Amino acid sequence: MPRDIPLNSLGIPKAPADTRVIVAMSGGVDSSVVAAMLAEEGYDVVGVTLQLYDHGAALAKKGACCAGVDIHDARRVAEEMGFPHYVLDYENLFRDAVIDEFADSYLAGATPVPCIRCNERVKFRDLLETARDLDADCMATGHYIQRKPGPAGPELHCATDASRDQSYFLFSTTPEQLEFLRFPLGHLPSKDATRALAARYGLSVADKPDSQDICFVPNGDYAAVIEKLRPGAAEPGDIVDADGNVLGRHEGVIRYTIGQRRGLGLGGLAEPLYVVGLDADGHRVIVGPKEMLATRRVPVREINWLGDAPLDSRPEWHVSVKVRSTRPPREAIIRPAGPDTAEVELLSPEEGVSPGQACVFYETGGSRVLGGGWIWKG
């Protein structure tokens, strides 16, 4: 009778040398450390970098992932650690799945999060399928999030280092994808620990700065990108109060987001005003006092639910939620309206809740990610 083969460090019953791992390499320090770590452990590592947008334009820009210089950095790490590396041209896929929706969402008055769509539609769908085609046993990334075994299968949990946690951007990871994915950095105590590993492996990217921008938005100028993609998008219009009184003019709804205070050009007012609504069809920016930003009820759709029982198996779920990536979780109640839609009631009001952002669900008092969905206007 054959002896049971012990699980390796990736939870697979094979020797590392017999375990093929596709590592999604952006050229940054995080994914480079993952690749180097697994190569050192003896895994059959194959590095893959995605070319997501115009290579020539990207070469001139630093600080964004998957640009020309980053492809070069990923290739150099593969050479240093002695494993194969491939560059896949996903430019058309990326434009169709991420960039076009980003532009159209802004034009509709929403505030999209393209990094979530990229993970959902490009990295964890198309690249993951490519990894399967390459006979990989799993795919590893440099995301700061944890995958833990649970009674109903693998669970998604926040990273140990709360300041690096990327769970907000990965809520749409499905249970099927979670079976195949691995996140070797999620348990590390800090980014310093990652850089220390990079230095130990002698990686050329050990001191490379973190990416700050959305990769296809140079210098954070969303409006310029959208105007290029959708000529005529920055149509001027009125800035109005909640009663429709005209207070000023603007240079395009795409230049404003819910909760914005600066840059309105409304001087001499008795109290500061904030953007409280965007009327894309009427080309109006609606402003009001800060208290108008407070929201308790948030309609959510396209929910990816990661709980053990179906979302609509209960009338309500008591959870914690994030409505922005930079905010701490707040207590809330989810009231399902179907298998993938719900109304979320925030127990304490949040300011600046915006259509197009994600609402991500967490186990109250724990680290488990229960999924999430997209905020809409209702």
Domain boundary residue among 187, 219, 251?
219
Could you please report the per-residue DSSP string of 205-236?
TTTPPPP-S-TTSGGG-HHHHHHHHSTT----
Question: Residue 4 domain-assigned?
Answer: no
Q: What is the pLDDT of residue 227?
A: 86
Are residues 338 and 263 both part of a single domain? Answer: no
What pLDDT is attached to residue 2?
46
- CATH of residue 282's domain is 2.30.30.280
Question: 225 in a domain, yes or no?
Answer: no
Please report the pLDDT score of residue 58 as a whole number.
Answer: 42
Pick left, alpha or beta for residue 219 (phi over 0 → left; psi -120 to 50 → alpha; otherwise beta): left
Question: Is 5 domain-assigned?
Answer: no
Shared domain check, 193 and 211:
yes
- What is the 3-class SS of 119-137, one letter each residue? HHHHHHHHHHHHHHHCCCC
Is 98 found in the same domain as 71? yes
- Put simply, whether the predicted model's pTM sits higher than 0.95 gets the answer no
Q: Which domain holds residue 73?
A: 16-219
Residues 269 and 366 in one domain: no
Query: How many Cβ atoms sit within 10 Å of the Cβ of residue 364?
Result: 15
Q: Specify the pLDDT at position 244.
A: 94
Task: Give the model's pLDDT for residue 67.
Answer: 53
113 neighbors 171 (Cβ within 8 angstroms): no
pLDDT tens track of the chain, all 378 residues? 346 789 999 999 999 999 999 999 999 999 999 999 999 999 999 999 999 876 444 444 544 444 578 899 999 999 999 999 999 999 999 999 999 999 999 888 888 899 999 999 999 999 999 999 999 999 999 999 999 999 999 999 999 999 999 999 999 999 999 999 999 999 999 999 999 999 999 999 999 988 767 888 867 788 888 888 888 778 899 999 999 999 999 988 888 989 999 889 887 777 889 999 999 889 999 999 999 999 999 999 999 999 999 999 999 999 999 999 988 999 999 999 999 999 999 999 999 899 999 999 999 999 999 999 999 985
Same domain flag for 284 and 305: no
Q: Are residues 214 and 78 in the same domain?
A: yes
Give me the pLDDT at residue 378, please: 58
Q: Other C-beta atoms within 10 Å of 231: how many?
A: 8
Asked if residue 312 and residue 280 are part of one domain, the reply reads no
At which of 248, 264, 288 does a domain end? 288
Q: List, by residue number, the catalytic residues.
A: 118, 215
In a domain, 8, yes or no: no
On whether both 239 and 280 belong to a single domain, the answer is yes
Residue ending a domain, choose from 219, 247, 277: 219
CB-CB neighbours of 239 under 10 Å: 20
User: In whole angstroms, what is the distance from residue 234 CA to residue 251 CA?
Assistant: 6
Answer yes or no: do 272 and 308 share one domain.
no
Q: What is the CATH number of the domain that holds 301?
A: 2.40.30.10
154 plus 41 within the same structural domain: yes
Number of domains forming the structure of the chain: 3
Residue 277 near residue 259 (C-beta atoms within 8 A): no
* pLDDT of res. 4: 75
272 domain-assigned? yes
Question: Whose CA is closest to 110, among 322, 350, 281?
Answer: 281
Looking at the structure, tell me whether residues 143 and 262 fall in a common domain.
Answer: no
Q: Residue 228: inside a domain, yes or no?
A: no
Geometric angle at alpha carbon 262, from 260 and 263, rounded to 5°: 110
How far apart are alpha carbons 15 and 255 in whole angstroms?
Answer: 54
Predicted pLDDT of residue 54: 65
Q: Is residue 157 part of a domain?
A: yes
User: Is residue 111 in some structural domain?
Assistant: yes
25: left (phi over 0), alpha (psi -120 to 50) or beta: beta
pLDDT score for 55: 45
> Domain of 90: which CATH number?
3.40.50.620
40 exposure class (CB count in 10 Å sphere: 0-12, 13-18, 19+) = middle
Q: Are residues 300 and 279 in the same domain?
A: no
